[in-house]
Amino acid sequence: MYGLIGQMLAAPGKREELIGILRENEGGMPGCLSYVIARDTENADAIWVSEVWDSAASHQASLELESVKAAIAKARPIIAGFGQRFETEPVGGIGL
């Protein structure tokens, strides 16, 4: 399995809009075992996205899906930047 945990920074006051865009694309990603979007409790403009995939290749392939490309294009104007990013190797858990 392949895991990715990353922080996204929304333009000031745009966090909820960014969350909404990301939530539009929650389903339909082959190989995605878990996709969690969470508000950062310390930074009002930050969110965390935690993903678990059956493989790194499935994650990479998801970036070529038209729905994902459209979400990225829609979100790009309100993304102020990216914070920390961690790649992981999930070994188990509920729902995996």
CATH of the domain at 41: 3.30.70.100
Q: By the 8 A CB rule, do 3 and 56 touch?
A: no
Residue 93, domain member (yes or no):
no
Encode the chain (96 residues) as per-residue pLDDT tens digits.
999 999 999 999 999 999 999 998 777 889 999 999 999 999 999 999 999 999 999 999 999 999 899 999 999 999 999 999 999 999 998 877
Residue 83, domain member (yes or no):
yes
Give the global pTM. 0.91
Residue 15, domain member (yes or no):
yes
Q: By the 8 A CB rule, do 15 and 8 touch?
A: no
Residue 52, domain member (yes or no):
yes
Sign of the dihedral through C-alpha 27, 32, 33, 34: negative
Residue 96, domain member (yes or no):
no
The type of residue at 15 is: R
| Structural domain harbouring 43 | 2-88
Residue 95, domain member (yes or no):
no
**What CA–CA distance (Å, rounded) separates 64 from 36?**
20
| Counted domains in the chain | 1
Residue 12, domain member (yes or no):
yes
